[in-house]
Amino acid sequence: MPTYKLMYFDARGRAEVARLLFAQAGVEYEDCRLSGEEFGAIKGDTAKLPLGQLPVLIEDGGRSIPQSATIARHLARVFGLYGKDETETTRIDVVCDCVDDLFTKIVKFYFEKDETKKAEMQKEFAEKGSVAILTAMCNGLQKNSEGKGYCVGTTMTLADIAVFNLTGMLCKEMPAFAEKYPTLKEFDARMRAESKIAAWLAKRPETPF
């Protein structure tokens, strides 16, 4: 088994899906959390940071893999969490891309300093920007498992990890979300009860985002 070092800031952000994948797979890794100053000191080192940004996954031999989505899909393939065939893998990709679309919007209003503008962005997100995707996620759960199982197939995959990371943010930042999408609220609760996921949640550092 190769050794892994995941480099990111002291935040969940765009590295948390990878951390959840490590947790579910039961694979040890170095969770390297950099300060802004530490990141600045190595930002120009293309051997470590090929794109000058985080997260980066460093494997045996010093291979550095950038881009959060690439890291997540790579780990999911290695850990057997990427579906049993091409049909499932494609469905997983669709779910993950939908999650990424919403995550990008959440980041914009989360870091907005103007409270009035932030409230307007959250309102637009809740009433328009997220509705089609969150409704499709609910419908997908209902179709795949009658709302009682996983997003794709009959076992946990990258899709479930990605959706769970999203629902965790939404439940915290927008409490009304849980009542509007009960299927996703129940999914979130089921994922939190998964033993390996629960163990990670119990010990992960508390960060605002």
DSSP string, 149-166: S-SSSSS--HHHHHHHHH
Per-residue pLDDT tens for 122-145?
999 999 999 999 999 999 999 998
Please tell me the distance from the alpha carbon of residue 146 to that of residue 151, in angstroms, as a whole number.
10
Tokens describing residue 1: 């088994």
Predicted confidence at residue 133, as pLDDT, reads: 97
Q: Which of 22-26, 46-50, 80-84 has the lowest mean pLDDT?
A: 46-50
Confidence of residue 1 (pLDDT cuts 50, 70, 90): low
pLDDT average, residue stretch 113-126? 94
Q: Going from the N-terminus, what domains does the chain have, and what CATH number goes with each?
A: 4-80 (3.40.30.10), 86-193 (1.20.1050.10)
The pLDDT of residue 52 is above 90 = yes
**Sign of the four-CA dihedral 94, 99, 102, 103:** negative
**This prediction's pTM:** 0.95
H or E, element range at 32: strand 30-34
Whole-angstrom distance, CA of residue 48 vs CA of residue 66: 9
The pLDDT score that the predictor gives to residue 2 is 72
Cα–Cα distance for residue pair 5/189, rounded to 1 Å: 29
* pLDDT at residue 53 tops 70: yes
Q: Which two tokens stand for residue 129?
A: 């920007």
pLDDT at 59: 95
